Amino acid sequence: ITEKIFDCFVAGTVPIYLGSKSIYELVPKNCFIDINDFRSFKDLYLFIKSISDKEYLDMQNSISQFLESSKSKQYTDQGYVNAILPTIIEYLK
């Protein structure tokens, strides 16, 4: 996955996601709209048009909870540094 979905999260919007199927292993399903759940763009449009304020707010709350969780920390700048730093240190030895 890329930073784009996290940019949406930080901006406070619910992303419409088209990408890797492994997203479900990394980000909870209730944090985004997966375009693959729809048979056509018309179906996606009808879903977006019909989503209630409460459903949208629930998704935004799920995003906030995810961003505050330890699972999301690996996608921060510090998480990236923590992931690659041991390899760099080992290489420099």
pLDDT in tens, 50-85: 999 999 999 999 999 999 998 888 877 787 888 888
pLDDT the model gives residue 48: 96
Let me know the angle formed at the C-alpha of 73 by 70 and 58, rounded to the nearest 5 degrees. 70
Half-sphere exposure of 38 (CA within 13 A, CB side): 15
Whether residue 9 contacts residue 66, with contact meaning beta carbons closer than 8 Å, is answered with yes
What's the pTM value of the predicted model, to 2 decimals?
0.79
pLDDT the model gives residue 33: 97
Lowest mean pLDDT among 2-6, 27-31, 49-53, 56-60: 2-6
pLDDT the model gives residue 9: 94
> How far is Cα 79 from Cα 17, in angstroms, rounded to an integer?
23
Which pairs count as long-range contacts for 41-48, CB under 8 Å and 24+ apart, including other chains? 44/16, 48/16
